[in-house]
Amino acid sequence: MYSDKVMDHFNNPRNMGEIENPDAVGQVGNPVCGDIMKIYLKIKDNKIEDIKFKTFGCGAAIATSSMVTEMAKGKDLEEALKISNKMVAEKLDGLPSEKLHCSNLAADALQDAINDYLNEKDKENNVSEESNA
């Protein structure tokens, strides 16, 4: 049985779609259940200015994707990296135990996208340092 919040985010997902020319993309999947999540980020001044998701999966996967985007939007990257699967499930007033892996995917996809962005920034900084040397 799903909570009212899970059903709301499943029936009315927030931030669904793609961002054109995103600053970062994170993608995770669970081959066992078939859920695949992709999160797109637009980042300005180290804050998540915009976030969208595309999810192929069950209702819980869609609901957790929607909730994680709500939780991360407007946050600075350091704060957003702290969003855990447990926090996502709690914000949705819980998930059935057999669906908890869906909340893991949502937090993992967000962290994957942020790490993608930070890794690219590191590469850019290293290149500019080398060209200044």
**Which member of 68, 89, 102, 110 is catalytic?**
102
Q: Tokens at residue 22, please?
A: 């995103």
58 is catalytic: no
Task: Give the pLDDT confidence of 37-57 residue by residue, as tens digits.
Answer: 999 999 999 999 999 999 998
What's the predicted TM-score (pTM) here? 0.89
Q: Which of 33, 36, 87, 118 is catalytic?
A: 33
Question: Residue 29: helix, strand or coil by DSSP?
Answer: strand
Residue 20 in 3-state DSSP? coil
Predicted pLDDT at 10: 94
Q: Answer whether 48's CB lies under 8 Å from 90's CB.
A: no
Q: What are the boundaries of each domain within the chain?
A: 4-126
Using 50 as the pLDDT threshold, list the residues of the chain that sit under it.
Answer: none
Q: Which CATH architecture has domain 4-126?
A: Alpha-Beta Complex (3.90)
Rounded Cα gap, residues 112 and 67, in angstroms: 16
Q: What is the pLDDT of residue 133?
A: 60
Counting every residue written for the chain, the total comes to 133
Pairing relationship of beta strands 24-30 and 47-56 according to DSSP bridges = unpaired
Task: Please give the backbone phi and psi of residue 39, each rounded to the nearest 5 degrees, phi first.
Answer: -120, 135
Q: Is 102 a catalytic residue?
A: yes
Residues 102, 96 contacting (CB under 8 angstroms): no
DSSP conformation letters of 42-66: EEETTEEEEEEEEEES-HHHHHHHH
Structure tokens at 121: 């920034």
